[in-house]
Structure 1
Amino acid sequence: MKTGLLYGVVACSKTRVRCVFCGVYIPKASKCIEQHTNGAKHKEHIELMNLNGIYFNNDVLHCKACNRNLPEDESVLKHIEGDDHANWIAAIDDLVDGEFITLDAFLSCEKDEVFCEVCNSSFYCSLQSIEEHVNHINHRTNITTRLKPLNGIFPVDNEDEVWCKVCDAYIDNTVQSVLGHIDDDEQHMEWFTEIEDLIENQEVSIESYLANEHENYAYCNKCQMEVTCNARSIESHVHSEAHLNQFGL
């Protein structure tokens, strides 16, 4: 993060300068400028720029998300709270939710592209390009491959089906069926909701159980012991005196 004394401060008149980020005027005295640029509000605006695709160039703020320069009377905070920017952020967040697409490099203004982890590819960041990417069959296939070991889903001898360990159910081995099971099957979702509620902040891991077909146990990192991976056993463990003592309770 740039925090130089004059970063974001531009000449305005013989007696004042203007902080472009904060949208305020400051007396043209080194002490006043230093006090402002070292202040929490100024640093917060710089942080917000790095999270919202806004950069400072040639004494002007430019928002990559909205693809426009900000007028002089529009501070960083005022802009990101405006409808246009807020709607873009909401739309992009909705598109990338659960899609393993990272926006960090774009929003920090390091790149014009976003990166898809499951496809191992970068592409130009726009609502249209992201929508096209996440709906492409190659991406849906890669998402399915990534999600199977996170959801206890394994291949079987019959290549037309896969087996869900969590539900003890067979599913058609198609992108639509597997993703539909993960996202919409009531039994599958209830199992995860119940287990995740039990292990939250308890340092109990179920990753190995989900990723390995023949694994029957969750693992408590706090107690360094295996626990049968079902709701009843995990609930009994996290409420046990031995486990609670590990947290000093």
Structure 2
Amino acid sequence: MAYYTDIIVDESGKTKCGLCKIFIKDSDITIEDHLNATEHADMYIQRLMIQNNIVVNGKKISCLLCNEVCNVAEVLQHIDSSSHKGNMSSVKKIIEKDGGLLVLPEDITPVGSKVNCLTCDCWVEFNQEAIKSHIGSAKHQRARAIVVQPLNAIFSVEGNSEDLWCKICQTYFENYIEVIFEHVDEDPVHLKNIGKLNLLIKDQNIDIEKYLHDPKEDKALCKRCGIEVPCNIDNLDRHIRGKQHTKSKTNK
């Protein structure tokens, strides 16, 4: 069933419908009855419309993402249409290119179908034009420049406000917003280095947060083994393949 994943177990161990925010008996029959109930189905459709920027204004139903009007019977059909999927894909690509700092609506909230910019702590209209305009604004560009630096091990140079230093690439570049984004988003060496590093430590319980945020830190913390490892591709790869780390993984 499409919305069976709404059934969760909370911290107290009780079964709950995360969408309807109510507790239900933990039995297959009770769960099925709840999921098939009109109240849950209505909430599910309401959430689906918020996620796809479809609004009801009187008797008119409009998809504000596609600038298209539809009736009740056509809502699901429109959401599944190639044109709507194409517009959703375009929006997601714009957000992904910006670093994923904007969050599409996922649940029923007081603000409805709004996109949340985590960087600027604001809400943006859910359409390509508004999102592009916000991302291109001076406010967002400045905020994003501040956010991406610690995520990419980029630091100010002591006594020099004109340059920045990328610890991962061991290189200096000018302290301008455009140059920061050029290095983070387009420089093939940086993209390769940060990509290999993140891929290497994925699912290995290795923490590089201090390395990324502290210009003097040169080690990563392997929480699985309880030791520090020099934070570079060769040493991390050697540690991950080593007996201690492999044995610790087996014993978990």
TM-score tier after normalising by the smaller chain length: 0.7 to 0.9
Partner residue of 1:174? 176
Compute the displacement of 1:155 (Å): 0.7
Quick check: 1:123 aligned with 2:124? yes
Partner residue of 2:94? 95
- The 1:55/1:244 distance shift into structure 2, 3 A limit, reads farther
What is the correspondence of 1:42-121 to structure 2 with a 5 Å cutoff?
Answer: 46=45, 48-49=48-49, 51-54=51-54, 63-66=63-66, 68=68, 70-74=70-74, 76=76, 78-97=77-96, 98-104=99-105, 108=108, 110-111=110-111, 112-121=113-122
3-state DSSP of counterpart to 1:226: strand
Please list the CA deviations of residues 132-158 of structure 1 after superposition, one character each: whole Å capped at 9, or x if unmatched: 110112211111110001111111121
Question: What amino acid maps onto 2:215 in structure 1?
Answer: E
Give the percent of matched residue pairs that are identical in Structure 1 and Structure 2: 25
Please list the CA deviations of residues 107-140 of structure 1 after superposition, one character each: whole Å capped at 9, or x if unmatched: 7464243221211222333322211110112211
Question: What amino acid maps onto 1:247 in structure 2?
Answer: K
Separation of aligned partners in 1, 2:180 and 2:89: 27
Compute the displacement of 1:69 (Å): 5.0
Partner residue of 2:222? 220
Please, which runs of 5 or more residues in structure 1 have no aligned partner? Answer: 5-33
Separation of aligned partners in 1, 2:243 and 2:59: 62
Does 125-134 or 55-64 show the bigger shift?
55-64
Quick check: 1:242 aligned with 2:244? yes
Contact 1:53/1:109 (8 A) holds in 2: no
- The 1:83/1:48 distance shift into structure 2, 3 A limit, reads same
Partner residue of 1:192? 194
Compute the displacement of 1:88 (Å): 2.0
Compute the displacement of 1:45 (Å): 6.0
- The 1:193/1:201 distance shift into structure 2, 3 A limit, reads same
Partner residue of 1:30? none
- The 1:152/1:72 distance shift into structure 2, 3 A limit, reads closer
CA RMSD of aligned residues (A): 3.2
3-state DSSP of counterpart to 2:160: coil
Please list the CA deviations of residues 30-64 of structure 1 after superposition, one character each: whole Å capped at 9, or x if unmatched: xxxx698259xx69964644533346788986545
Contact 2:210/2:217 (8 A) holds in 1: yes
Separation of aligned partners in 2, 1:132 and 1:125: 12
Compute the displacement of 1:2 (Å): 4.4
- The 1:60/1:35 distance shift into structure 2, 3 A limit, reads farther
- The 1:118/1:208 distance shift into structure 2, 3 A limit, reads same
Separation of aligned partners in 1, 2:49 and 2:141: 32
Does 46-55 or 237-246 show the bigger shift?
46-55
